């Protein structure tokens, strides 16, 4: 499996508190028709900490069914517990996921030794390829390059979603590992800079709303149309930024609801974005000619 291109970090639509299967299937269909290279359910954008185990499996099963034969599915499985993460990983493998996204354990704030032991335990419990997910702003811990070098020795740990907001970190990883370890941007606004230093693509929030446009940035870059990629990236930049005015996935869900694609529901402790945020998203889309 090639981890290159655009992979939407899918939202989880709700209807009166339950998983909205119809809206989720329609979202998957729009993304695949928009030319994405894969799908990532049950990550941060999918509100995974707020899903029950049954709901987590339901979401991944639906996405796999809808995407079957079109694009691969990278299922989010990370939690604050190593044992629960292993159980999630094994459940996703049974469901037929193609790969796993495993975030650093949050809240516990393990040492680098703890992170190393955690990821090793998960990797040894599954045969699926693993994309690590480093997002210190959410987890409270930062996966150090030295720790990553040890983890990269495990054959099924194949890449990382870099959401540190620091292109220098992505650059250091590419320099250390070359093509044997995939770096994917975890921030839409940094996709092009990370591609420029050797990244292979993006796990994207914006792609829920604009799959064709976000995919095209990566596709243009990869075929050498650098100026076209740059122009499109800059055109989309205000949209990317507007989707992080408040805590993700509030703004992207508001944008999707504004188009009538999902219901305006999000789970506590997150709340629906303020009207001013929704208006700024609308203005960003209009300014990009996409409103």
Active site residues: 133, 161
CA distance linking residue 76 with residue 228, whole number of Å: 32
CA distance linking residue 181 with residue 102, whole number of Å: 15
Q: Locate 79 and state its tokens.
A: 């939690």
The secondary structure of residue 261, as a DSSP letter, is: S
Asked whether 12 and 42 are in contact (CB, 8 A), the reply is: yes
Comparing CA positions, the residue from 11, 86, 8, 14 lying closest to residue 47 is 11
CA distance linking residue 144 with residue 141, whole number of Å: 9
CA distance linking residue 63 with residue 55, whole number of Å: 12
Place of tokens 């075929």: 223
Neighbours of 241 (CB within 10 A): 15
Cβ neighbourhood burial of 53 (10 Å; 0-12, 13-18, 19+) = exposed
CA distance linking residue 10 with residue 204, whole number of Å: 8
CA distance linking residue 202 with residue 7, whole number of Å: 6
CA distance linking residue 148 with residue 119, whole number of Å: 10
Report the relative pairing of strands 130-134 and 157-162 from DSSP bridges.
Answer: parallel
For the chain, the straight-line distance linking the first and the last C-alpha, in angstroms and rounded, comes to 35
Residues 6+ apart with CB under 8 A from 192: 217, 221, 229, 230, 233
């Amino acid at each position: 499996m090639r981890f290159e291109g655009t992979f939407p970090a899918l939202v989880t639509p709700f209807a009166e508190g339950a998983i909205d299967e119809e809206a989720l299937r329609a979202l998957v269909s729009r993304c695949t028709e928009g030319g994405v290279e894969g799908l990532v359910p049950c990550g941060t954008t999918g509100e995974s900490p707020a899903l029950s185990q049954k709901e987590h499996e339901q979401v991944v099963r639906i996405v796999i069914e809808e995407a079957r034969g079109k694009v691969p599915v990278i299922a989010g499985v990370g939690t604050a517990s190593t044992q629960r993460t292993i159980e999630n990983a094994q459940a996703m493998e049974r469901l037929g996921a193609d790969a796993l996204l495993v975030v650093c354990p949050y809240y516990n704030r393990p040492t680098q030794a703890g992170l190393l032991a955690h990821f090793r335990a998960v990797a040894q419990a599954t045969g699926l390829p693993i994309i690590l997910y480093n997002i210190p702003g959410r987890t409270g811990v930062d996966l150090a390059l030295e720790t990553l070098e040890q983890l990269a020795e495990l054959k099924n740990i194949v890449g990382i979603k870099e959401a540190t907001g620091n292109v220098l970190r992505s650059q250091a990883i590419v320099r250390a590992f070359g093509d044997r370890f995939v770096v994917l941007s975890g921030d839409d606004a940094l996709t092009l800079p990370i591609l420029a230093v050797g990244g292979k693509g993006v796990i994207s929030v914006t792609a829920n709303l604009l799959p064709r446009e976000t995919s095209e940035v990566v596709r243009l870059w990869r075929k050498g149309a650098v100026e076209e990629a740059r122009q499109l990236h800059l055109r989309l930049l205000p949209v990317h930024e507007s989707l992080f005015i408040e805590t993700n996935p509030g703004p992207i869900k508001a944008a999707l609801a504004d188009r009538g694609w999902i219901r305006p529901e999000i789970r506590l402790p997150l709340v629906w974005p303020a009207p001013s945020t929704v208006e700024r998203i609308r203005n960003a889309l209009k300014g990009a000619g996409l409103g």
